Amino acid sequence: MKNVSKFLLGIVGGVAGYFALTAGAYLPFVIRDARKGYRDGCDYLLVLGGLVIGEETPSDHLLERINTAAEYLKENTECFVIPCGGCFRDGQKKSEAQIIKEHLVALGIDESRFILEDKSTTTFENFENAFEIIRTHSGKDPDEFSVAFLSSDYHLHRAGIIAKRCGFQKIGKVSCENKKGRLRNYAREYFVAYELLKKDKR
């Protein structure tokens, strides 16, 4: 019985050690990127979507992204903005992209600056679709322009990895401070990133 207990404790200790080691290796990069404050003017700003409650009410996290995007766009008046995110939840009447646009227009951003990416359901699709939008709109590859994306601070590192896999070799990161559930979101990033890094996606 004692041998079985020791064996089980050894397994638990090994698993705990593995997670502690890998989290210690990955999370510092997440925290480093979360603190980035890319404020240079860009030609195209991608605003990544987020949870919509009910028909068209942005969640707290999505509102934080919208408000940060408004501040950035008022400081950088020449760039185009690409709100990202489709309509895919039960009861949702408008795409995330459309909701982001409407709120930004209400905050004073001119409608002529918007190009919607309203087909995506994942962060991969956000960047894949936005890459083609910029290429079509400009007639050139996105790397010939200054491109940045805006997302919640805890999401920046993983989204940056995805952006590169989708063709954006040079892209700025605009950090939106996450004011609620920070520890929970950092922990979630670790487990989501584990699945991401196992994928062989381009």
Measured over all CA atoms, what is the biggest interatomic distance in the chain, rounded to whole angstroms? 73
According to CATH, the superfamily of the domain at 2-198 is HUPs (3.40.50.620)
What's the pLDDT tens digit per position in 7-36? 444 443 333 333 333 444 455 555 555 555
What's the pLDDT tens digit per position in 63-104? 999 999 999 999 999 999 999 999 888 889 999 999 999 999
pLDDT recorded at residue 12: 39
Each domain of the chain, given as residue ranges in start order, spans 2-198
Residue from 47, 43, 38 nearest 66 by CA: 47
Q: Is-above-0.75 flag for pTM?
A: yes
How far apart (Å, rounded) are the C-alpha atoms in residues 108 and 91? Answer: 28
**Distances in whole angstroms, Cα of residue 159 to Cα of each of 15, 129, 156, 165:** 27, 14, 5, 10
pLDDT recorded at residue 87: 83
Which helix (H) or strand (E) element contains residue 71? Answer: helix 60-75
Please, are residues 109 and 73 in contact by the beta-carbon 8 Å criterion?
A: yes
